[in-house]
Amino acid sequence: MKIFNDLADFSSEEINALLKLSRRLERKPEPRALEGKILSLLFLSPSLRTLASFQAAMGRLGGASFVISPEMSIHGLESRPGIVMDGAAAEHIREAVPVIASYGDALGIRAFAERRSLKDDLADQEFKQLASLADVPLINMESAINHPCQSLADWKTMDDLEVPDNGGRFVLSWAYHPQALPLAVPAATTQMACMRGMDLVVLRPSGFELPEPIMEKAREAANKSGGSISETTDRKEAMNGAHVIYAKSWSSTRHYGDRAADQELRKELVHWCVDEPWFENTQPDCKFMHCLPVRRGVVVSDQILDGERSVVLKEAYNRMLVQMAVLYKMLKG
């Protein structure tokens, strides 16, 4: 494996092999499997779970890792092409990325969407630019439009809990957040649920439709797996018979890049906070999922987050396990 960028790049059989490997490494650790290997981690965006889980994964396999972020560099990092560097930044990614990559056996990159141009973010322009500068195996630790490590962990979490694949109803629900957030998690989650063969319902208010390229890609996955995808603004319709609700906020695609207009649209939507009444017509054991971090009392109530429905901590733990599998496959074969 030379690159882990998108679950869509893998067959269902390959995904299931990675998940099987993650379970094997959980049961039977191999603390010297990656002895002598080094993972370079470039964080151009903030992180808690991704940073900690990758370092833990590499350490549990006997390898080492180092982290670079703009805040750690006394020089500052510039990414714009063709720029005259007469400002604060004294180092350009065109030199920084190849240098960082050369010190390790694989490179992980995390770079959030700039959320200025929907077209550029859907094309994952910044991540592709960064990736083109590295000549070692590469892991997407979240880009403008993808978060494959999170989605692989979510897939494992549902498998662990025996949530049905074909016939399982998965609701991806927009939830209120005071800020406009990237499309990476909702895009990756739609792809994951459809590849798993589930019946995915995107529940969202008007103005927060997922872009058509994301929906079309998910439809193609659903057609192959026997799943389905639909969208609605009606909560009761969406939640009917649901096995899982996955809450996540994202930017208004109607006003993408216009934060003032996005704020104006979302300020009337504070009631989109997941609480017990949302589950009145779901499966009795319907689970609540979220990638974290999550704002209590904003995205979801304490009652749900701290209750038996919530599996958010299991999702976070599975991040480490599936990333162990990815690193093992990438660096040991």
84 inside domain: yes
The reply to whether 25 and 49 lie within a common domain is yes
Query: Are 136 and 17 contained in the same domain?
Result: yes
Same domain, 100 and 229: no
Residue 139 and residue 31 in one domain: yes
The separation between CA 233 and the C-alpha centre of its own chain, rounded to angstroms, equals: 23
Q: What is the pLDDT of residue 90?
A: 87
Pair (35, 137) in one structural domain = yes
Distances (CA, A) of 269 to 156, 177, 265, 283, 285: 32, 9, 8, 26, 27
Question: What does the block give as tokens for 175?
Answer: 């939830």
Is residue 124 domain-shared with residue 180, that is, in the same domain?
Answer: no
Is the same domain home to 186 and 108? no
Task: Give the domain CATH number at 15.
Answer: 3.40.50.1370
User: Domain span at residue 242?
Assistant: 162-310
- 107 shares a domain with 74: yes
pLDDT at 74: 58
- Residue 135 CA to residue 205 CA, distance in Å, equals 43
**140 within a domain of the structure (yes/no):** yes
- pLDDT, position 299: 98
292 domain residue, yes or no: yes
Predicted pLDDT of residue 75: 75
- Are 13 and 132 in the same domain? yes
Percentages of the chain per state (helix, strand, coil), in multiples of 5:
40, 15, 45
Q: What confidence score (pLDDT) does residue 77 get?
A: 82
Q: What is the count of structural domains for the chain?
A: 2
Give the H/E segment covering residue 153: helix 148-160
* Residue 152 forms part of a structural domain: no
Name residues of the chain where pLDDT drops below 50.
none
Q: Are 6 and 140 in contact (CB under 8 A)?
A: yes
In a domain, 114, yes or no: yes
Residue 155 domain-assigned (yes or no): no
d(CA 282, CA 288): 11
Beta carbons within 8 Å of 278's beta carbon, 6+ residues apart: 235, 239, 245
Is there a single domain that holds both residue 268 and residue 227? Answer: yes
How confident is the model at residue 115, as a pLDDT? 85
pLDDT for the residue 331: 98
Query: Alpha helix (H) ranges present in 179-311?
Result: 184-195, 212-225, 235-239, 259-266, 302-305
11 and 70 together in one domain: yes
Within-domain flag for 154: no
Tell me the C-alpha distance between 269 and 250, whole Å.
Answer: 13
**187 and 171 belong to one structural domain:** yes
Q: Is residue 176 part of a domain?
A: yes
Q: How many residues does the chain have?
A: 333
Paired with 274 in beta bridges are: 300
